[in-house]
Amino acid sequence: MDVNAAVAAAAAIAGVLTGVIAMLAFRWSEREQKRPTRTSLHTDPVLPPGVDTVLSVLRSSAVVLDEADAVVKASSAAYALGLVRGGKLAVEPMLQMARDTRRDGEIRQVELDLPRRGTGRGEALAVSARVAPLGSRLVLLLVEDLTEARRIEAVRRDFVANVSHELKTPVGALSLLSEAVMDAADDPEAVERFAGRMQIEATRLTNLVQELIDLSRVQNDDPLEDAEAVRVDELVAEAIDRCRHQAGTKQITMAANVGGGPVGTSDEGGGGRRAGTADLQIWGNRGQLAAALGNLVENAVNYSPARTRVGIAARRVPAPGGDLIEVAVTDQGIGISEKDRERIFERFYRVDPARSRHTGGTGLGLAIVKHVAASHGGEVTVWSSEGQGSTFTLRLPEAGVARDRATDHTSGLADDVDAGQPDGTTTVTSPTTSPYESLSAPEVLP
């Protein structure tokens, strides 16, 4: 009996030990299965806590690479720039930088020119790439697009160079003329002649400085901060008054038609303006709008032969986002060639430099018009045919529509529009006649 009890107890103890050992073996096996291996670390890397959130708010294009140069994380901007393709970093110089950084842990930075995706014109993207280690196994690549910054810097360099050249010409002329006056002190006729030339060059210099100030102002100021409803017929009358003397000297007929009625006419016995002319209003900065339209009319007069006609017409046209006001200035001048039409809104660009010097032009007038149109939410277009004349058209939102847009903070449309770029302008060509020749006959102004 004692022997049987001892055997049973031993068997029970053995069974318990076996169960304990089996349970421990099972737990150990589970733990080994959950423990990360080299393979799992390699195929399923995990970003350090918070890195994913930080990368999502960065303005730079971000790419995270693992030990095998596979992309663990990439922002949408990185894909848009073409940095990542098929789960791999597609730019070899950046890939080599990442490998070097992974090897020695040093932060590296370089500027590169990358081919632009989807274009066959050889255009390049200028980027700045910075590579840094991220933890013990990952590498972070940040790429900043410098293309726009370089373009703006090039525009500024060209602008400074052009300004220096334009200022140097009248200043040099004044210096030479003053010496000539001193040498001809005993010749009253020569002194008078040289003094006249000095006055012309001084006026040219004054106009250049003033237009530089105007251009800077329209680029930097928000025209809708002090906006008001501006009547189009008043703008047209002001532009005509500004150029009346030049037109009279060349016997150029100036005509205006606003909203189907001539500017400044009176109904018989009533003394008021024709009905409908005061309905055309633009919401904006009166000074800038007057300067833009005045520049267009002044160009039309300066580039028109003697005894020709310059017309100003305004009308309301329907548009999907609200009615627009069109103000067109038509001349019978020399016209503009097709190659020049693409560049006439550039700063300091002149179709005929010799003629511009003769008329006192600075090459900034149309650039100012372009910026004013863009900052007011509109555009300026041009139709021209060599030998037949030109029509420049300002299209601007009507007062009510523009006022609503201003309250929605949508007035920042003139963001350093580059001279030489077609932003804010549209070139319209036609082989036959100006689109405004069919308007009702305008009043002829003396």
SS3 track for 30-69:
HHHHHCCCHHHHHHCCCCCCCHHHHHHHCCCEEEEECCCC
Query: What is the spatial distance between Cα 231 and Cα 404, in angstroms, rounded to a whole number?
Result: 18
> Which residues is 115 bridged to in the sheet?
124
Angle between helical axes of 188-220 and 365-375 (0-180°, round to 10): 20
Query: What is the spatial distance between Cα 238 and Cα 241, in angstroms, rounded to a whole number?
Result: 5
What are the structure tokens assigned to 252, written together?
Answer: 């150029």
Please give the chain's pLDDT, 446 residues, in tens: 566 676 677 767 776 667 667 676 666 656 655 554 443 334 445 677 767 777 777 778 889 988 888 888 888 888 888 888 888 888 888 989 999 998 888 999 988 888 776 544 556 788 889 999 987 788 899 998 888 888 888 777 777 777 777 777 788 888 888 888 888 888 888 888 888 888 888 887 887 787 777 777 776 666 667 788 899 999 999 999 989 988 999 999 999 888 655 554 333 333 333 334 457 899 888 888 998 999 999 989 988 899 999 999 999 998 888 889 999 999 988 888 888 887 888 777 766 655 455 555 567 888 889 988 988 889 999 998 888 899 999 999 988 755 555 555 444 433 433 433 334 444 444 444 454 444 433 444 43
- pLDDT at residue number 395: 93
24: left (phi over 0), alpha (psi -120 to 50) or beta: alpha
**Helix boundaries (H) for 221-249:** 232-249
Which residues are within 8 A (CB) of 272 and not within 5 positions of it... i.e. 6 or more apart? 266
Task: Name the residue with tokens 């939410």.
Answer: 377
What are the structure tokens assigned to 10, written together?
Answer: 């031993």
End-to-end CA distance of the chain: 143
Element (H, E) at 257: strand 253-258
- pLDDT at residue number 117: 63
Query: What is the spatial distance between Cα 183 and Cα 181, in angstroms, rounded to a whole number?
Result: 5
- pLDDT at residue number 420: 39
- pLDDT at residue number 438: 40
- pLDDT at residue number 22: 64
Which stretches does DSSP call E strand in 55-184? 61-65, 71-74, 84-85, 88-89, 108-115, 124-134, 138-145
Phi and psi angles of residue 282, each rounded to the nearest 5 degrees, phi first: -120, 140
Cβ–Cβ contacts within 10 Å for residue 213, how many? Answer: 10
- pLDDT at residue number 419: 38
- pLDDT at residue number 311: 93
Judge whether 241 and 227 are in contact, CB under 8 Å.
Answer: no
Q: Is 377 helix (H, G, I), strand (E, B) or coil?
A: coil
- pLDDT at residue number 392: 95
Judge whether 101 and 131 are in contact, CB under 8 Å.
Answer: yes
- pLDDT at residue number 430: 41
Q: CA 254, 258, 261, 265 torsion: positive or negative?
A: negative
What are the structure tokens assigned to 141, written together?
Answer: 């690549």
